[in-house]
Amino acid sequence: MNDEQQPQTRAIRGQMQQTAYREHSTPLFLTSSFTFPTAEAMADTFAGQGEGIIYSRYNNPSVDELIAKACALEGMEAGFATASGMGAVFASLAALVEQGDHILATRAVFGSTHQILTQILPKWGVTFTYVEPDAPDDWAAAVRPETKLFVTETPSNPGLRLVDLERAGTFCRTHGLTYIVDNCFATPHLQRPGDYGADLVTHSATKWMDGQGRVLGGLLLGTSEVMERVIFFCRHTGPAMSPFNAWVISKSLETLHIRMDAHCRSALEMATWLGEQRGVARVHYPFLKSHPQYALARRQMRAGGGIVTFELEGGVAAASGLLNAVQLCSRSSNLGDTRTILTHPATTTHSKLTPEEREAVGISDGLVRMSVGLEAVADLQADLLRGL
Ligand SMILES: *Cc1c(COP(=O)(O)O)cnc(C)c1O
């Protein structure tokens, strides 16, 4: 790939080498293993010297193409693709900690990440502490001699709280912590944590990267140093992405920049409009001036992202009423699709949290999360008016 080109060009033109057929669109390599011309070539490859590919749990041309493009977009050196976003999040943590280690995480992390921190890693003697995403001055007090990782997500799901990526980078360097960012909500088109010193970025490629609600996928992208340990862990524990899913997502990356620009434009329009509707108590969107971290959002993000959340005055009843009234928007728990999706976090994605835990991450009973799709904004507004 050409390092001089802009990321969007590399996402379009960074395809694998043509085969003997000189195809224009990339072929799909549905094969579990690969062959070798000689026993010696096979032995060399197993010894880490040959050019060959061994087995699709390790490498596959369709998957490698996706990883190369994603590395170009994030400005990272190496990567691994997993079957889902959670496969990536789990591998990022499990590969980099040992018994007795401690993790610092910003409080507003994805629901299943919270389950890994609270239910799974403690089984192996790994502990964690939550710090507030928007209070970086307090983070240092939570660092212990055994703290190894700083794990964060910005903007958070569904609270849309931001973490100052530059401050976090300085903090991690000062305390010698490995800096991990779940960049799912922003995508590398809107922000690149690696530019602020992040060692490792994780993605649920299921969301905006595929962007059409078709396949699950996860990505781990980082410095060569950190990825060496992560790739070793993944090769031997087996979370690899299917070549088919990689082929789908790699194609999707060709349009990531135009899709994200359009999602963000519509989301800002919807957020502004929602703020003027009766029954809507509050609207949260990073690029609204009313967002408490608006200045930070403008500094570190190209645009506000495709997610808008809003609080309805009537609590659970009002939120259920809206979700039942819409005819165009989908009731689903996914996000990052061409189709607009409404979710009621308190009764679905975050129902396992106690009311106090929900309160702490800003999920009130009347909160609705809207993943703004690519339909005409006027049609979305007309649909929401059925239930507002
Ligand atoms: C969806 C999501 C995940 C998990 O990804 P899957 O592909 O569903 O496994 C992780 N982090 C964030 C921020 C997400 O939105």
Catalogue all structural domains in the chain, each as residue range(s) with its CATH number: 7-255 (3.40.640.10), 256-385 (3.90.1150.10)
Q: Which of 192, 166, 205, 180 is nearest to 96 (CA)?
A: 180
145 cis-preceded (ω within 30 degrees of 0): no
Alpha helices by DSSP H, the chain: 7-13, 39-46, 61-74, 85-94, 111-115, 165-175, 187-190, 224-237, 243-253, 256-274, 294-300, 315-325, 355-360, 377-385
With a 6 Å cutoff on the Cβ, whether 206 touches ligand 1 is yes
**Ligand 1, atom nearest to 218 Cα:** 7
What mean pLDDT is predicted for residues 139-168?
A: 96
- Cα dist from 33 to 56, 67, 179, whole Å: 6, 19, 34
What mean pLDDT is predicted for residues 317-344?
A: 97
With a 6 Å cutoff on the Cβ, whether 65 touches ligand 1 is no
pLDDT band with cut points at 50, 70 and 90 for residue 1: low
With a 6 Å cutoff on the Cβ, whether 85 touches ligand 1 is yes
pLDDT band with cut points at 50, 70 and 90 for residue 360: confident
**Ligand 1, atom nearest to 88 Cα:** 9
Ligand 1 center–CA 202 separation, angstroms? 9
C-alpha–C-alpha distance, residues 266 and 98, integer Å: 44
pLDDT of residue 249: 98
With a 6 Å cutoff on the Cβ, whether 151 touches ligand 1 is no
Say if residue 321's pLDDT is above 90: yes
Q: Which two tokens stand for residue 384?
A: 């929401």
With a 6 Å cutoff on the Cβ, whether 114 touches ligand 1 is no
Residue owning the nearest CA to atom 1 of ligand 1: 204
Q: Which of 133, 134, 137, 195 is nearest to 166 (CA)?
A: 195
Say if residue 173's pLDDT is above 90: yes
Mutate to test the pocket of ligand 1, among 82, 86, 334, 341 (most ligand atoms within 8 A of CB): 86
Contact criterion met (CB below 8 Å) for 154 and 133? yes
Could you give the angle at the alpha carbon of 106 between the alpha carbons of 337 and 94, nearest 5°?
A: 80
Contact criterion met (CB below 8 Å) for 11 and 73? yes
C-alpha–C-alpha distance, residues 196 and 249, integer Å: 26
Contact criterion met (CB below 8 Å) for 100 and 285? no
pLDDT band with cut points at 50, 70 and 90 for residue 322: very high
pLDDT of residue 354: 87
pLDDT of residue 52: 86
Say if residue 48's pLDDT is above 90: no
Say if residue 3's pLDDT is above 80: no
Provide DSSP, 218-263: EEEEE-HHHHHHHHHHHHHH--BPPHHHHHHHHHHHTTHHHHHHHH
Q: Which residues make beta-bridge pairs with 120?
A: none
What mean pLDDT is predicted for residues 116-144?
A: 97
- Give the N- to C-terminal CA distance of the chain in Å, as an integer: 50
Contact criterion met (CB below 8 Å) for 126 and 154? no
Ligand 1 center–CA 86 separation, angstroms? 6
215 CB-side CA count, 13 A: 19
C-alpha–C-alpha distance, residues 305 and 79, integer Å: 24
Say if residue 13's pLDDT is above 70: yes
> Which value, in Å, is the radius of gyration of the alpha carbons in the chain?
21
What mean pLDDT is predicted for residues 76-87?
A: 98
Q: Which residues make beta-bridge pairs with 200?
A: 180, 222
**How many Cβ atoms are within 10 Å of 21's Cβ, its own excluded?**
7
